[in-house]
């Protein structure tokens, strides 16, 4: 059984209220992992032990086979010491979608289409295995060494009861800007909850901000419950707008891609992903071939409607000011008297 002594811990990759993720090298094999370290004291104090178990159980469910599916961080092992729980997982070295969009401003239409298709494919496969994530958001979508997505942070996930695959009562989980109306209104969640998040994430990728955003969580919740979101007056792709409109629907069963009124296949066949069956040639736009989605070279990452932020001036440090003041004081000034402060009498 592993222990913290088996790893050399390094860079902190992310921090939350009850856990942190660090880059770690396995001492014996030299392999590099991401290790999530969870505080036992916090779990006990906040009555969140079930969250720790949920993440383990969900990832074990997804990786029952030896190879495992694409699109998910892999759990290799778990262990504990007196103060913490440890999850040894695959490393996704290229950051998360929040960092990517912050850097780019927004993503190009083709880039957003490619990555949303990968998210959708992974989520639908996950649902077929009986797992609901419930906290999909840009920070929980990582990029691996090949710039393909990896869904992460299953602390709010649950494994569905085979006898009840619909909405179920649950504790309140999620993140304000991406939380579904059914969670806010009824404390229920299901497959439709993750589909809602995909619509919100697509909006975020294309515009650099979530569809429901307000100064406080309460006001954000009010926007979600009233479907208070808008698109730009011009420049926004019509098919992207249509698919988002058909996902961000108050009634869970009315969302595109949600059984029984719709189906996962119906969402995959939306023109935003596969184009229009008109027989007419398209421009150089990228459309999804679901059979090669995980094997083709990733789409080049480009900015979209919202450009990258302007470079910020470098922070002026105290060392700079100390040097500046010292050098400034060495400048001699000729006051016309024929004398110079640097000259000898």
Asked whether the beta carbons of 121 and 293 are under 8 A apart, the reply is yes
Give the C-alpha separation, 123 to 194, whole Å.
7
**107-199-16-158 Cα dihedral, nearest 10 degrees:** -140
Give the C-alpha separation, 35 to 23, whole Å.
6
Give the C-alpha separation, 224 to 184, whole Å.
9
Here the tokens at position 34 are 């991401």
Give the C-alpha separation, 149 to 182, whole Å.
27
Here the tokens at position 303 are 């900015």
Helix or strand run (H / E) with residue 32: strand 32-39
* Spatial CB neighbours of 17, under 8 Å, sequence gap ≥ 6: 42
Give the C-alpha separation, 204 to 198, whole Å.
10
Q: Which of 96, 121, 135, 153 is catalytic?
A: 135
Residue 36 annotated in ligand binding: yes
Chain Cα centroid distance, residue 19: 17
Give the C-alpha separation, 220 to 225, whole Å.
9
Helix or strand run (H / E) with residue 26: strand 19-26
DSSP category for residue 35: E
Short-list 97, 93, 95, CA closest to 107: 97
Q: For the chain, give the longest Cα–Cα distance.
A: 100
Give the C-alpha separation, 66 to 270, whole Å.
33
- Write down the H helix ranges in the chain: 40-45, 49-62, 97-104, 109-128, 181-186, 191-207, 217-225, 238-247, 264-268, 271-274, 318-328
Active-site residue, 135 included: yes
Catalytic residues, by residue number, are: 135
Annotated binding site for ATP: 36
Residue ranges for the binding site? 36
């Amino acid at each position: 059984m592993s222990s913290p002594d088996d790893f050399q811990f390094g860079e902190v990759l992310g921090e939350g209220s009850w856990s942190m993720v660090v880059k770690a090298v396995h001492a014996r094999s030299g392999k590099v992992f991401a290790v999530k370290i969870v505080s036992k004291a916090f779990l006990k104090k906040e009555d969140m032990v079930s969250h720790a178990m949920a993440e383990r159980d969900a990832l074990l469910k997804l990786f029952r086979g030896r190879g495992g599916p694409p699109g998910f961080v892999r759990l290799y092992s778990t262990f504990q010491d007196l103060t913490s729980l440890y999850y040894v997982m695959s490393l996704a070295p290229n950051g998360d979608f929040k960092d990517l969009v912050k850097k780019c401003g927004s993503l190009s239409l083709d880039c957003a289409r490619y990555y949303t298709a990968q998210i959708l494919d992974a989520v639908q496969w996950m649902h077929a295995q009986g797992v609901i994530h419930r906290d999909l958001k840009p920070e929980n979508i990582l990029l691996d060494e090949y710039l393909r997505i990896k869904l992460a942070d299953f602390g709010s996930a649950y494994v569905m009861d085979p006898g009840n695959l619909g909405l179920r009562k649950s504790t309140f989980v999620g993140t304000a800007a991406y939380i579904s109306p059914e969670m806010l209104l009824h404390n229920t969640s299901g497959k439709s909850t993750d589909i809602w998040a995909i619509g919100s994430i697509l909006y975020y990728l294309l515009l650099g901000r979530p569809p429901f955003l307000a100064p406080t969580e309460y006001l954000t919740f009010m926007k979600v419950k009233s479907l208070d979101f808008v698109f730009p007056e011009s420049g926004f792709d019509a098919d992207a707008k249509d698919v988002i409109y058909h996902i961000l629907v108050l009634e869970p069963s009315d969302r595109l891609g949600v059984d029984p009124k719709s189906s996962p296949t119906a969402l995959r066949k939306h023109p935003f992903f596969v184009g229009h069956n008109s027989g007419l040639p398209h421009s150089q736009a990228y459309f999804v071939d679901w059979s090669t989605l995980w094997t083709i070279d990733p789409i080049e990452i480009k900015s979209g409607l919202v450009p990258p932020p302007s470079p910020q001036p470098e922070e002026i440090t105290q060392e700079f000011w100390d040097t500046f003041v010292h050098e400034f004081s060495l400048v001699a000034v000729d006051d016309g008297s024929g004398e110079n402060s640097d000259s000898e009498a």
